[in-house]
């Protein structure tokens, strides 16, 4: 074990992971950024945001993983150009078309490899309860089960905590916590579509706008359209 | 669920995974090959072997994943050019230098994504008990824990069995089973070094030669050197 308290944070460039970075720092961890380009439509924009945030917090390290396999495997509107990004239906119980099969297991596995090679004591991920309504790999049970894999599947001397601090929170709770931590949300990107400005109508934009509204704040980024439920 | 009985097999190009391919076929599965180039020294040779085997069995699909992240992360003599491949010490209790941090979790996660996107009912991996003497992510406990992650982390309708048929077997048992199944071992590569012919002195060659000797057979591939314990 190293004396330094280091943590890998899975930084997508979105608001949840940006908040997780500030959470890890607030808990005394030196941040190691892991950003992944896996062929998602918005990868250039997300990379720029993750990179800007790393500079902002003076990250100890920044690992950019580019891998084509999730997009090659397909079956998600996030990576498959033949599938359309659908407009939001936050009330639906179905797995959204944006689900990338078992994506978070791939991302967490990468993060644990990176953490083990760098003597990091934790891996943070910003998944939250409004994700797991639709995505099976964002649930508390997923993270609990994965912790067990880490415990048995790494070297005996390796101890890495998989931390999903917001797994039982709403996105509104995250926005509230992030505003408290002064997260620079102007450096983040959440939209599933690849045009600027953010569309304001996909699942991700809708959730984000609602979270800021509920937290009594205004999202600092620009939108093509702010849906009518938004009071600002 | 699909009516076809399909299985993804993690095919490295070595003898264990080649045997797993024939095992899956013997159990009635249509084979989907997943081969990964992750910057290991021997990736070209391994790819050739996996590809030749796919042709041999007329695989339903062949997914070649090329990803630089495990090699970027480093910390293994298999991927880090600054670390030497050490000669064998099969009696040592230490984690070998060839250990790639949490590699199998990365590979299994990829395989599950591929399986879920293609309605496969199983993922086969040829890990065995003489691996897990040194590698923590080859143990039965690792596969058991990972099965739980699959169960909770994929879509409700997805059911994928993670099958490691040899996890409690020795490499000798695998060679015996493979000889029974007529696995074309001349199409496989196990050596950790990147020169042809296989060195005969690294951990992987030593284990393989010993397995064939114990199974009362002669390994059909060519070696630069056959160690003195080999009677052939």
CA distances from A30 to A8, A121, A164 (A): 8, 10, 17
Give the model confidence (pLDDT) of B76-100 as tens digits.
Answer: 555 666 666 556 555 555 666 666 7
Percent pLDDT > 70 in chain B is 84
pLDDT score, position A135: 80
**CB–CB of B105 and A145 under 8 A?**
no
pLDDT at B3 over 50: no
CB A42, CB A194: distance < 8 Å: yes
Distances A26 to A31, A105, A120, A177, B202 between C-alpha atoms, Å: 11, 26, 16, 11, 46
Cβ-nearest to A136 among B70, B136, B153: B153
Model confidence band, residue B193 (pLDDT cutoffs 50, 70, 90): confident
Q: Do A142 and B148 touch (CB under 8 A)?
A: no
Exposure pattern of A187-220 as b/e (b: 16+ CB <10 Å)?
Answer: bbbbbbbeeeebbbbbbbbbbbbbbbbebeeebe
Residue A230 pLDDT: 45
Residues A173-209: pLDDT tens digits? Answer: 999 999 999 999 999 999 988 888 999 998 889 999 9
**What is the pLDDT, as a whole number, of residue A217?**
96
- What pLDDT sits at residue B84? 60
Contact with chain A for residue B101, Cβ under 8 A = yes
Looking at every residue in chain A, the average pLDDT score rounds to: 88
**What is the pLDDT, as a whole number, of residue B203?**
83
Of B73 and A184, more confident: A184
Three-class DSSP category at B144:
helix
Q: Say whether pLDDT at A3 is over 60.
A: no
Helix axis angle, A103-117 to A140-153, nearest 10°: 40
Are residues A106 and B102, on separate chains, in Cβ contact within 8 Å?
no
Q: Which residue has the tokens 């797994």?
A: A167
Place of tokens 């938004």: A230
As a whole number of angstroms, the distance between CA A104 and CA A111 comes to 10
CA distance A160 to A152: 11
d(CA A38, CA A158): 28
Looking at residue A203, what is its pLDDT?
83
User: Å from A227 to nearest chain B CA?
Assistant: 30
* Whether residue A223 has pLDDT greater than 70: yes
Which pLDDT belongs to residue A58?
A: 97
Judged by a CB distance cut-off of 8 A, whether residue A145 touches chain B is: yes
Specify burial of residue A25 (Cβ count, 10 A radius: 0-12, 13-18, 19+): middle
User: Which residues in chain B touch residue A134, judged by CB atoms under 8 angstroms apart?
Assistant: none
Whole-number Å distance between alpha carbons of B91 and B93: 7
> For residues B44 and B147, which has the higher predicted lDDT (pLDDT)?
B147
**What's chain B's average pLDDT?**
88
Q: What is the pLDDT of residues B113-133, one digit of tens each?
A: 999 999 999 999 999 988 756
In this prediction the pTM is 0.88
pLDDT above 70 (res A59): yes
Pair B100, A113: CB distance under 8 Å: yes
pLDDT band at A96 (very low <50, low <70, confident <90, very high): low
pLDDT at residue number B91: 54
Query: Do residues A188 and A52 make contact, with C-beta atoms less than 8 angstroms apart?
Result: no
- Whether residue A159 lies within 8 A of chain B, CB to CB, comes out as no
For residues A160-171, average pLDDT: 96
Lowest mean pLDDT among A33-47, A91-105, A159-173, B116-130: A91-105
Q: Which of A173, A181, A77 is nearest to A128 (CA)?
A: A173
| B101 contacts on A by Cβ (under 8 Å) | 112-114, 116-117, 154-155
């Amino acid at each position: 074990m190293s004396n330094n308290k280091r943590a890998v944070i899975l930084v997508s460039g979105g608001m949840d992971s940006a908040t997780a970075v500030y959470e890890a720092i607030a808990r005394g961890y030196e941040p190691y950024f892991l950003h992944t380009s896996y062929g998602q439509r918005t990868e250039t924009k997300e990379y720029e945001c993750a990179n800007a945030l790393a500079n902002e917090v003076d990250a100890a390290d920044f690992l950019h993983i580019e891998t084509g396999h999730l997009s090659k495997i397909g079956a998600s509107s996030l990576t498959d150009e033949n599938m359309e990004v659908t407009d939001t239906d936050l009330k639906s119980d179905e797995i959204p078309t944006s689900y990338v099969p078992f994506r978070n297991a791939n991302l967490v596995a990468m993060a644990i490899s990176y953490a083990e090679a760098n003597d990091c004591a934790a891996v943070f991920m910003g998944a939250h309860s409004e994700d797991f309504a639709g995505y099976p790999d964002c649930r508390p049970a997923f993270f609990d089960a994965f912790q067990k894999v880490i415990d048995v599947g790494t070297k005996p001397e390796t101890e890495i905590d998989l931390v999903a601090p917001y797994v039982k929170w709403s996105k509104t709770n995250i926005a509230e916590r992030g505003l408290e931590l002064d997260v620079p949300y102007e450096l983040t990107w959440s939209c599933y579509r690849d045009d600027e400005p953010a569309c304001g109508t996909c699942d991700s934009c809708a959730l984000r706008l609602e979270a800021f509204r509920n937290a009594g704040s205004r999202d600092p980024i620009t939108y093509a359209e702010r849906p009518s439920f938004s009071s600002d």
